[in-house]
């Protein structure tokens, strides 16, 4: 890549685009920089929409910081077509926009349910009383005291829990035998069902919604539910229409190489719309890492994107749950701990001494520690029972001499809603913000779903203890 100024245009105005413009600015990009977003408002945190729907957050709480002042940000502007030969973007507002380098950060769009004829208009938009949950406008449609959520994947569960926290009556309908059936074992799924039921959510497993009229949702077995609003949380798919129409190579997502280039060398893709090595990117962490790598590439230092392990943690303060996907075939062994009385379970699959897959429910310390092991690719500690039981085994101490160990811990994301790392929190603490409330105001950690509150509290306690011990050791005798 040349360091000569070039016109960079980013299609999409979410967290990935913001991260890219910020990093380009920091790295000294000199050319014109334009961001096109089809939503009327500026960039905001999409993962926090459930908290907006529950009334826990206001719309302004979701707002992301502005792009660097030199960025030309065009909201309410859709890109309708790409002319790759002339390097032009056709705009829905009329006219064309030239580019030297184009970055597609178009994200993902909702996947309609399989039996959607009676729920959606022919153009794919929801019928009255039915909504997806992908935009701020969608969140405003979640009205009424009784709501039905269709789909018990991560978003469906988070939405149901958020609405319940907001005092609504919620029924969660799922086509599978138990929530998250594609990711969790049957036993863990049963425990999750118990926890959801104990929290006041009515679950209808093995069912789907076939129609909705004002005040009523009808299931495929004929049961009718009192339902003011039906929320469709049936998955998302990468937005590839613009790329496909332009002749770029696509599969589930827009195909990119290790430098995040598409089949057109002048066009890149990052975030939920991109697919590398047969896997579509998912989540804000992957998008952030991709934006960082691409910023270096576009400013003269070609930097391959290091694929991240697929770690999913439920954004809900009521339930501590994480699962990581198997990375390459079957593990050598499986280790599990089950507490039926308290509906807690931890199960990991191990290969070559490292965690390959996991599912942990109801053990917050184990959730945190196993996530750290997977993200840092550290070996399983000698005290693996302590790991699964949630007894802090000190992974940062045991692996302190590992290459990159300290950096891996520092880069561990504590608050997934706002992408706040342990390093960010430690820096804020060192700057004098010593309580959870002060750290929240400084970094926004805990202001999303609240699920990281205990981790932030523990970090405060550990830093305070470390500072006290350091002062004691250094004091004259």
Domain CATH for 453:
1.10.10.1100
Q: Which domain does 375 fall in, by range?
A: 320-404
What's the rounded mean pLDDT across residues 325-350?
80
28 and 93 share one domain? yes
* Average of per-residue pLDDT across 207-228: 95
117 within domain boundaries: no
Looking at the fold, whether 82 and 146 belong to one and the same domain comes out as: no
Same domain assignment for residues 394 and 377 = yes
Of the candidate ranges 17-31, 192-206, 244-258, 315-329, the one whose mean pLDDT is the lowest = 315-329
Say if residue 349 is in the same domain as residue 422. no
pLDDT 10s digits, 310-320: 888 888 889 99
- Average pLDDT of every residue of the chain: 86
d(Cα 48, Cα 53) in Å, to the nearest integer? 9
Question: Taking 90 as the threshold, does the pLDDT of residue 452 lie above it?
Answer: no
Distance CA 462, CA 477 (A): 25
* CA–CA dist 140, 125 (Å, integer): 16
Are residue 205 and residue 257 in the same domain, yes or no? no
- What Cα–Cα distance (Å) separates residue 384 from each residue in 19, 132, 315, 392, 403? 37, 42, 26, 10, 21
- Residue 362 belongs to a domain: yes
Domain at 138, CATH number: 3.50.50.60
Mean pLDDT of 268-288: 85
> Is residue 124 in a domain?
no
How many helical (H) and strand (E) elements, i.e. helices and strands, does the chain have?
14, 28
Q: Is residue 123 part of a domain?
A: no
pLDDT of res. 45:
83
Residue 384 shares a structural domain with residue 372: yes
CA 426 to CA 394: how far, in whole Å? Answer: 17
Verify that 135 and 103 share a domain, yes or no.
no
Domain contains 120: no
Confidence of residue 473 (pLDDT cuts 50, 70, 90): low
What confidence score (pLDDT) does residue 456 get? 81
* CATH number of the CATH domain containing 364: 3.30.390.30
Alpha carbon 54 to its chain's center: 19
The pLDDT of 235-257, averaged and rounded, is: 95
Mean pLDDT, range 332-339, rounded to an integer: 85
99 and 184 housed in the same domain:
no
Residue 393 confidence (pLDDT): 47
Which residue would you say has higher pLDDT here, 149 or 334? 149
Whether the pLDDT of residue 329 is over 60: the answer is no
CA distance 169 to 243: 41
Residue 395 predicted with pLDDT over 60: no
Q: What is the pLDDT of residue 1?
A: 41
What are the tens digits of pLDDT across the range 346-391?
998 888 888 888 999 998 888 878 888 887 788 888 777 777 876 6
Amino acid 248: pLDDT: 98
Q: Of 404, 433, 457, which residue sits at a domain end? A: 404
| 167 and 217 both lie in a single domain | yes
As a residue count, the chain comes to 477
CB neighbours of residue 2 within 10 Å = 9
pLDDT band at 249 (very low <50, low <70, confident <90, very high): very high
Report the domain count for the chain: 4
- Report pLDDT digits (tens) over 172-210: 999 999 999 999 999 999 999 999 999 999 999 999 999
Q: Which of 1-5, 112-116, 204-208, 293-297 has the lowest mean pLDDT?
A: 1-5
Of 207, 234, 261, the residue at which a domain comes to its end is: 234
Grade residue 149 by pLDDT with cuts at 50, 70 and 90.
very high
pLDDT score of 97 more than 90: yes
The predicted model gives 326-354 an average pLDDT of 81
For the ranges 126-135, 362-371, 400-409, the lowest mean pLDDT is seen at: 400-409
Q: What pLDDT does 258 receive?
A: 95
Q: Work out the average pLDDT over 232-244.
A: 95
| DSSP SS3 for 131 | strand
Q: Is 164 inside a domain boundary? A: yes
Contacts of 122 (CB under 8 A, 6+ apart): none
Whole-angstrom Cα distance, residue 225 to residue 216? 6
In 3D space, the residue among 5, 6, 7, 3 whose CA is nearest the CA of residue 89 turns out to be: 7
pLDDT of residue 332: 72
Q: Decide if 236 contacts 222 (C-beta within 8 A).
A: no
Clarify whether residues 103 and 13 are in a common domain: yes
Q: Which helix (H) or strand (E) holds 227?
A: strand 224-227
160 and 71 within one domain = no
pLDDT value at residue 424 = 84
Task: Please give the pLDDT value at position 447.
Answer: 65
pLDDT for 64: 84
- 378 shares a domain with 293: no
Task: Return the pLDDT at 417.
Answer: 63
Asked if residue 309 belongs to a domain, the reply is no
Would you call 369 exposed, middle or buried from its count of C-beta atoms within 10 A (0-12, 13-18, 19+)? Answer: buried
69, two tokens: 């002042």
Is residue 422 one of the residues assigned to a domain?
yes
> Hey, which residues does 91 pair with through a beta bridge?
79
Q: Which of residues 216, 234, 252 is at a domain's end?
A: 234
């Amino acid at each position: 890549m040349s360091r000569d100024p070039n016109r960079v245009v980013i299609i999409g105005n979410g967290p990935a685009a913001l991260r890219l413009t910020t990093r380009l600015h920091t790295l000294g990009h000199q050319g014109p920089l334009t961001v096109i977003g089809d939503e009327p408002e500026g960039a905001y945190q999409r993962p926090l929409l459930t908290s907006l729907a529950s009334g826990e957050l206001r719309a302004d709480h979701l707002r992301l910081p502005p792009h660097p002042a030199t960025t030309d940000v065009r909201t309410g502007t859709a890109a309708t077509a790409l002319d790759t030969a002339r390097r032009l973007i056709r705009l829905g507002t009329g006219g064309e926009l030239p580019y030297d380098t184009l970055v597609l950060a178009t994200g993902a769009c909702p996947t309609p349910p399989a039996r959607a004829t009676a729920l959606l208009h022919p153009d794919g938009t929801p019928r009255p009383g039915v909504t997806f949950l992908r935009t701020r406008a969608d969140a405003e449609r979640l009205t009424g005291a009784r709501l039905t959520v269709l789909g018990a994947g991560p978003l469906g569960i988070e939405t149901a829990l958020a609405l319940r926290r907001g005092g609504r009556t919620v029924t969660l309908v799922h086509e599978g035998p138990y929530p998250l059936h594609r990711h969790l074992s049957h036993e863990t799924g049963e425990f999750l069902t118990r926890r959801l039921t104990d929290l006041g959510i009515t679950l209808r497993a093995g069912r789907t919604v076939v129609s909705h009229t004002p005040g009523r949702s009808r299931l495929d077995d004929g049961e009718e539910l009192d339902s003011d609003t039906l929320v469709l949380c049936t998955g998302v798919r990468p937005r590839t229409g613009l790329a496909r129409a332009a002749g770029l190579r696509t599969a589930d997502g827009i195909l990119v190489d290790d430098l995040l280039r598409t089949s057109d060398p002048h066009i890149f893709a990052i975030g939920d719309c991109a697919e590398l090595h047969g896997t579509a990117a998912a989540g804000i962490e992957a998008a952030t890492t991709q934006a960082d790598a691409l910023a270096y590439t576009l400013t003269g230092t070609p930097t391959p994107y290091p694929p991240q392990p697929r770690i999913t943690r439920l954004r809900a303060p009521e339930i501590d749950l994480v699962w990581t996907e198997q990375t390459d075939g079957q593990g050598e062994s499986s280790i599990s701990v089950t507490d039926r009385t308290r509906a807690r379970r931890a199960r990991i699959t191990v290969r070559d001494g490292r965690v390959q897959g996991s599912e942990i429910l109801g053990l917050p310390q184990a959730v945190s520690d196993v996530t750290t092991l997977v993200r840092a690719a550290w070996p399983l500690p000698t005290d693996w029972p302590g790991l699964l039981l949630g007894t802090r085994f000190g992974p940062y101490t045991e692996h302190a001499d590992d290459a990159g160990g300290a950096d891996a811990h520092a880069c561990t994301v504590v608050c997934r809603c706002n992408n706040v790392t342990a390093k960010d929190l430690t820096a804020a603490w060192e700057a004098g913000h010593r309580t959870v409330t002060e750290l929240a105001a400084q970094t926004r950690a805990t202001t999303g779903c609240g699920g990281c509150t205990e981790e932030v509290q523990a970090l405060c306690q550990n830093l305070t203890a470390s500072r006290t011990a350091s002062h004691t050791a250094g004091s004259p005798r």
